[in-house]
């Protein structure tokens, strides 16, 4: 009997070893500490939203006033100090850029903590520009941000501003018919549009999604940066009470204190490319990586997010 039990034990060990090897395939997520999002990806995800091909689908802050150069953004401010404060707010929590006079330099690193380039903020000698940000990185989609005096900022038509006030106010419901990559249906405006920051509208999904080894298609998930922005907006002033308490229950929103699925992190390691599911807790804004241990079952919720702004005589979203 003992001999039979030993054989069974050996067979089980062999099966588990083979199963573990199959899980270590480079195309299948594994639980390791290399799930860090690259600094460049985090930074530019705060400025723009990229489509599936890696091209700019829309600008999250300010506006692209130079149609000949889609990598250039402009942002209206009243002073150099305001520009500096805005720039620092774009950096990840805890980052302390090196300071030399009026120049602030952030040394970025990738998933393996290797140098990924620089983001440099400084005052500008260019006429009509109060300050500028230069992104010195090979794969940067936004390479320049120019801070322009608010008095020189191009104005939208008054009729469009009135339309936004009537239909895209805080708490307004907006019906999206055309899927731009992040869902259709009824969305709720959680931030109104301003020339500095484009508007945000969200749709919460109350259904719980289970995590399985072969289920890693995040679909219409936003970046960690965008999802953290939603968390911050929901907790600004009285937004939480007004939006979450008034609209959440009637729309079937789950509690914010859950893991909300975000865009996957793809990490190129020694064995190839691995993909990690990541999440943001909308209650705290904390982000993390799903634990993909063999015997661990995880679950998440989804929030669909669109940015929007006026464009001529219409409203565009992305």
Distance CA 141, CA 155 (A): 26
Q: What is the pLDDT of residue 24?
A: 36
Tokens matching residue 102: 């009026």
DSSP letter string over 223-266? PHHHHHHHHHHHTSTTHIIIIIIIIITTTTPPPSSS-EEEEEEE
Confidence of residue 16 (pLDDT cuts 50, 70, 90): very low
How do residues 196-238 score in pLDDT, each as one tens digit?
999 999 999 888 887 654 454 566 789 999 999 999 999 999 9
Q: What is the pLDDT of residues 271-305, one digit of tens each?
A: 566 667 789 999 999 998 876 554 556 788 999 99
Residues 18 and 144: their CA atoms lie apart, in Å, by 50
User: Rounded to 5 degrees, what are φ and ψ at 153?
Assistant: -75, 130
Residue with tokens 């006033």: 65
| d(C-alpha 318, C-alpha 303), whole Å | 15
pTM check: above 0.85: no
Confidence (pLDDT) at 307: 97
Q: Are 183 and 304 in contact (CB under 8 A)?
A: yes
Q: Check pLDDT > 70 for residue 258.
A: yes
Backbone angles phi, psi at 176, to 5 degrees: -100, 115
The residue ranges of every structural domain in the chain are 64-152, 158-317
Q: Which pLDDT band holds residue 5 (cuts at 50, 70, 90)? A: low
How far, in whole angstroms, is CA 243 from its chain's centroid?
Answer: 21
Res. 48 pLDDT band, cuts 50 70 90: very high
**What tokens were used for 154?**
């191009």
The whole-number pLDDT of residue 11 equals: 46
20 vs 303: which has the higher pLDDT: 303
Neighbours of 260 (CB within 10 A): 24
């Amino acid at each position: 009997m003992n001999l039979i039990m030993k054989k069974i034990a050996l067979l089980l060990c062999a099966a588990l070893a083979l199963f573990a090897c199959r899980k270590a395939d480079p195309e299948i997520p594994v639980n390791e500490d290399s799930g860090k999002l690259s600094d460049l990806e985090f930074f530019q995800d705060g400025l723009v939203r990229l489509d599936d091909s890696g091209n700019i689908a829309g600008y999250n802050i300010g506006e692209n006033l130079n149609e000949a150069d889609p990598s250039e953004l402009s942002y209206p401010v009243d002073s150099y100090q305001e520009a500096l404060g805005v720039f620092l707010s774009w950096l990840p929590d805890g980052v302390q850029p090196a300071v030399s006079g009026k120049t602030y330099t952030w040394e970025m690193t990738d998933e393996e903590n290797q140098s990924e380039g620089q983001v440099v903020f400084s005052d500008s000698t260019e006429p009509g520009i109060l300050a500028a940000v230069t992104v010195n990185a090979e794969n940067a989609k936004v390479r320049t941000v120019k801070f322009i005096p608010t008095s020189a900022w191009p104005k939208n038509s008054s009729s469009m501003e009135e339309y936004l006030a009537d239909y895209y106010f805080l708490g307004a419901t907006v019906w999206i018919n055309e899927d731009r990559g992040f869902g259709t249906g009824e969305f709720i405006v959680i931030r109104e549009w301003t020339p500095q920051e484009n508007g945000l509208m969200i749709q919460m999904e109350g259904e719980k999604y289970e995590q399985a080894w072969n289920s890693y298609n995040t679909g219409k998930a936003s970046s960690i940066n965008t999802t953290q922005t939603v968390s911050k907006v929901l907790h600004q002033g009285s937004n939480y009470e007004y939006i979450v308490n008034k609209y959440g229950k009637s729309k079937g929103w789950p509690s914010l204190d859950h893991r909300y699925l975000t865009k996957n992190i793809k990490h190129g390691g020694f064995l190839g490319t691995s993909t990690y599911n990541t999440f943001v807790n909308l209650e705290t804004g904390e982000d993390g990586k799903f634990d993909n241990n063999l015997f661990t079952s995880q679950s998440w919720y989804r929030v669909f997010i669109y940015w929007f702004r006026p464009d001529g005589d219409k409203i565009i979203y992305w």
